[in-house]
Chain A
Amino acid sequence: MAKQAVRFSKKKRTKYRFQKLKMCKKCQRYSVLKDDTCPKCGTTFVGMEALVKSIFKSRLLTEAIWILIIVSIGIVAAPTVRTLYYSLISGLVFVVSYVVLTSIFIKSEYFIHLKKLLRVDLKKIAIGIQYDSELAKKDVKEDRLAPAYEKLREIGDFLYSDQMKIRRVMVLNDISLRSDMELELETLIPSSYDKDFVKYALEVLKINRTLITKKCIGYFINHRDAIVIDFGINSLLTVAGMTLRMKLYILEFSEFIEEFLDYFPKERVLRLCSILHANPEMEWGSLEEKTNRLVAMKYHYDPDFKRFSVGDEVVSHV
């Protein structure tokens, strides 16, 4: 099947995830998607912060009404004119102190309200995200892959299950990927072997090598047998080559690199040599030795390798 050429819109970034939550007050339903209006009833969504603020404001209003009632009763019920004045003054002092006190603690009070709302509405939020996920499913069914992926990407900020990751990966596998897309890899790594994920990873690494991370290399190493069966040994060779991206990865996965060293193209060997050469103080272990030996055998007369001057000493070794 031909892959769909699509364009993703930019992901909305917020400092905290809960800021992405919004609610349709009419349906009493939460959503984490980017839409501004509820797809069910068309009402404009209210953001989480606005929601908490409105709840907080109405709480403060109720408190203010109670205070006024108490103070007014106190004043009206005063038996003499003197006690009336006295009540009036103490009532005023009380109101002022109350207002000052509340404004000093306004931040922590807002915070507590937010926390309470998230806890009380947790079930509602989960149901809302479930509904969002159904919408994404519908998009996939109707072959609207870009909106489907955008939905799953937002939901993926909240749900980390393998099932959610694989659903995203499967949509991505039907899309022709481009380097200008904001693609992810590490966040999509499932907890066990998954063929669709590996297929996606190999594809995405072809267009953006910088996406490779420690966790990703670890995944390839842990599931190497299954990967070789499904994708051939060359896929592992590619990943081993990409492991040379960073000094730290080379240190951590030196055994893995050593295994594939003999099959690396010249450009990869050059890269490895230049890193080893630039960091002589590091403990490279047998990798350094093996690399030197390889260079001496295979690239001894290659001028590109002259600058590493591993020359005679190693050759005499071999």
Chain B
Amino acid sequence: MYSFVFTSLLVLILIWKTFKLFKNKRNSGDFEGIDEELVIMLNKGDSNG
């Protein structure tokens, strides 16, 4: 019983981690994208004051 609970806990952690990694990979995009975003955000702030 103890081994089962412990292993399940570890498996759950692994599943959660995999899910998070996949989610991050899906949201990641490319370097050009963040470069653009950075400049757009900076210029937005600049023109607002």
Query: A residues bordering B, Cβ < 8 Å?
Result: 15-18, 70-71, 74, 77-79, 83, 86-87, 90-91, 94, 97-98, 101-102, 104-105, 108-109, 111-112, 114-115, 118, 122-123, 125-126, 129, 158-161, 164
Contact = CB atoms under 8 A, between A and B. Distances in A.
Given A17-B39, A159-B43, A94 B2 contact: no
A151 B9 CA distance: 55
B28 A91 contact: no
B42 A18 contact: no
A89 to B, nearest CB: 10
A118 B10 CA distance: 33
Given A16-B35, A17-B35, A105-B24, A125 B13 contact: no
Given A129-B42, A161-B46, A115 B34 contact: yes
B2 A78 contact: yes
Interface of A is mostly: helix
B14 A97 contact: yes
Nearest to A113: B24
A108 B24 CA distance: 7
A164 B45 CA distance: 14
A153 to B, nearest CB: 15
A118 B28 contact: no
B13 A101 contact: no
A126 B45 contact: yes
21 contacts: A18-B35, A18-B38, A71-B10, A74-B6, A78-B3, A90-B10, A101-B17, A102-B21, A104-B21, A105-B21, A108-B21, A109-B21, A111-B28, A114-B34, A115-B34, A122-B38, A122-B41, A123-B45, A126-B45, A159-B42, A159-B43
B32 to A, nearest CB: 7
Contacts of B43: 159-161
A20 B3 CA distance: 52
A71 B42 CA distance: 45
B28 A126 contact: no
Given A16-B31, A16-B32, A17-B39, A161 B47 contact: yes
A101 B18 contact: yes
Contacts of B38: 17-18, 118, 122, 125, 158
Contacts of A108: 21, 24-25, 28
